[in-house]
Every structure is written in structure tokens, then in C-alpha cells.
């Protein structure tokens, strides 16, 4: 067998298929026991235009699992780390809850957990993906808008979809190389 590349996990979100149902937000809370008032996964909405030429836009969000993740760089105790497969995680044993990473994240993806007193955020449902599953937000997505998979495998669905469609990432200019790709999104919207 030819040597395969190491896995590199990411997500593609086809915004044309987002129905604004908030299943990703709530499925994530259900899956990961996220308490009231904070989100690991959420959907921004904005309304644009004057009646009747009005449009509502959705922007499903989660941690971008950036290749150059500033949260990893700023962590004073190396609690935040990037796995070989690209998943950015917080080691809750090591985390001292200083909040540097929360401030450093350009995507507002992190928060300090009230209940656990540590930094918290999307894990791409590492417990599920490490056992062959997909993240809960992908599993339950009502519009089948989300695809999770190995970006290094050219035959994976995510790679094929990214190859066949123009994709964007949020705020590429901050230079963190996000691994969540959007299809059909209108990024000129301010959310």
C-alpha cells in the first residue's frame, strides 16, 4: 500500500443549504454538555435590504481549528494544543483559566466555562471522530449543509466538494489559516 498522508480534519459548510434551524447550536450543547449562555457552535444571522428587497443571511460558526492557531501560541501553560490531525483542543487538566486564548482568538470561538473554570470551545467532537463518527452538528444538520472529513484524502467528500466549489474562510486576512470552509457564503455581510 502506498503511504497515505496523515489525516487533516476540517469542515465545509454549504451556506446555500443552511435553513437557519439552529440544530447545530443545540445539538452541540446536547452532545458536549455546554451550559446556558455560551456556545461552541452557533449561527449568526443578519437581515439586509429594505422591504420588499430583504434577505436574511446565515453564518454557521464554530472553532476554525486554524493551522496557525493564535490560541496555541499564547497559552502560557501549553494547555491549548493542536493535534497532528489538525484538531485544536484544550487540556482541561493543564488550563489555568487565564483567558489569554479567549482574547487571542480572532473568531470569538472561545469562552471561559463558568462551571469548569477553564477555557472551552469546539472540539470537533473529538470523542466521536476518534471512534469513526462525525461531529454532532454535522450528524444532525437539517439542511445537510455541513461536511466533515479528511482534507488530505482527495477522495473524501469534503475534499471533493472543496475541489468542485469556490470556498472561502472567514477573515482570511488575520492569517490563521482556518480549516472551516464556506460554500456560497456572502462574506460581505457584517454579522
Partner 1 sequence: MTSKGNSFSLSRRNFLKVSAAVSAGVGIGLGPSLLNLKKVSAAESEELANNLGNIEVKYTADVMCPSECGMEMWVQDGRIVKIYGNDSCPFNDGTCCAKGASGMQLVYSPERNKYPLIREGERGEGKFRRATWEEAIDYIGSKLTDIKKKYGAESVIMDAGDVTDRDHYYRVFHGYGTPNCVEHGSICDTPRRHGPKLMLGGKRIEPDVMRPLLVRQPDGSLKKDYTYYSKLIIYVGWNPFVATRINYESRGTVGAKVENGCKVIVVDPAHTNTASQADLWVPIRPGTDGDLFAAMLRYILENDDQYNPLRKYIDWSFKEFSVGWDEFEAEFKSWWSKIDPINGKPYFSLDWAADRTGLPSEQIQDIAHEYGLTKPAALVWGMQSPGHHYNGYPCSILGTALNIITGNMDVPGGAIDTELVKSDKGGKAKGSDFTKRKVKRLIDGQEVEAEIEYLHMDWYGDWPAAWDDVVGDYPRRFREGVNINYGPFKGYKYPIKGFMIRTGNPVMTGGNTNDWIDALTAKDGNGNYKVELVVNIDTLYLETGMYADVILPEASYAERMSLSDVYPSHQVLWMRDEVIKPLHESKAPTDIMNSIAKKLNKLGDSDLKGEDFWEKYKTQEDFVNEMLLPAPGRNHAGEPIPYPHLPLGYKLLGTPDSLEAGRVTIDHEKKVVQGEPVTAEWMRKNKGVAVWPMSWNRFKIFDKEEGKYVASKAVAKTSSKMFEFTFSGYNKYNKLIDETGIIPRGLKEIGYERYPNTFYWFETKWNPYTNKEYAKYKDEYPFQLICGRVHHAMTGTQMVPWLSETPVEGTWMPLNDAFKHKIIDPNAKGELEEVEKEFKAGTFCVGTIAINASDAETMGLKTGDLVILENPLGSQEKGKVFVTEGMRPGTIKLGFGTGGRFSPGLGPTSKHKDYTPNHSGLVDPNAHSPIMGMPCYADMIVKVIKD
145 binds partner 1 (CB under 8 A): yes
What secondary structure, in 3-state letters, does 65-133 show?
Answer: CCCCCHHHHHCCCCCEEECCCCCEEECCCCCCCCCHHHHHCCCCCCEECCCCCCEECCCCCHHHHCCCC
173 binds partner 1 (CB under 8 A): no
Stretch that binds partner 1, among 2-10, 65-73, 74-82, 127-135 (CB under 8 A): 127-135
* Binding test (CB under 8 A) with partner 1, winner from 87, 124, 141, 169: 141
117 preceded by a cis bond (ω within 30 of 0): no
Q: Beta-carbon neighbour count of residue 26 at 10 Å?
A: 17
Stretch that binds partner 1, among 3-11, 54-62, 67-75, 81-89 (CB under 8 A): 54-62
CB closer to partner 1, 2 vs 23? 23
Report DSSP state, residue 141: -
Site string for partner 1, 32-51 (x = CB under 8 A): xxxxxxxx--xxxxxxxxxx
CB closer to partner 1, 117 vs 177? 117
- Give the whole-angstrom CA distance, residue 144 versus residue 156: 16
171 binds partner 1 (CB under 8 A): no
Q: Which of residues 61-120 bind partner 1 (CB under 8 A)?
A: 61, 108-111, 113, 115-116
Amino acid at each position: 500500500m502506498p503511504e497515505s498522508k496523515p489525516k487533516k480534519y476540517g469542515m465545509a459548510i454549504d451556506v446555500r443549504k443552511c435553513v437557519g434551524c439552529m440544530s447545530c447550536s443545540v445539538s452541540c450543547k446536547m452532545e458536549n454538555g455546554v451550559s446556558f449562555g455560551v456556545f461552541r457552535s452557533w449561527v449568526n444571522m443578519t437581515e439586509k435590504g429594505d422591504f420588499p428587497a430583504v434577505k436574511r443571511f446565515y453564518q454557521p460558526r464554530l472553532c476554525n481549528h486554524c493551522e496557525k492557531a493564535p490560541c496555541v501560541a499564547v497559552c502560557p501553560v501549553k494547555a491549548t494544543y493542536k493535534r497532528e490531525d489538525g484538531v485544536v483542543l484544550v487540556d482541561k487538566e493543564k488550563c489555568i483559566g487565564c483567558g489569554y486564548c479567549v482574547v487571542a482568538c480572532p473568531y470569538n470561538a472561545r469562552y471561559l466555562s463558568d462551571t469548569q473554570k477553564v477555557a472551552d470551545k469546539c472540539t470537533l467532537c473529538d470523542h466521536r471522530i476518534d471512534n469513526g463518527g462525525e461531529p454532532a452538528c454535522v450528524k444532525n444538520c437539517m439542511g445537510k449543509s455541513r461536511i466533515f472529513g479528511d482534507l488530505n484524502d482527495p477522495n473524501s467528500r469534503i475534499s471533493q466538494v472543496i475541489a468542485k466549489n469556490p470556498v472561502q474562510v472567514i477573515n482570511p486576512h488575520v492569517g490563521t489559516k482556518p480549516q472551516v470552509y464556506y460554500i456560497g457564503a456572502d462574506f460581505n455581510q457584517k454579522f
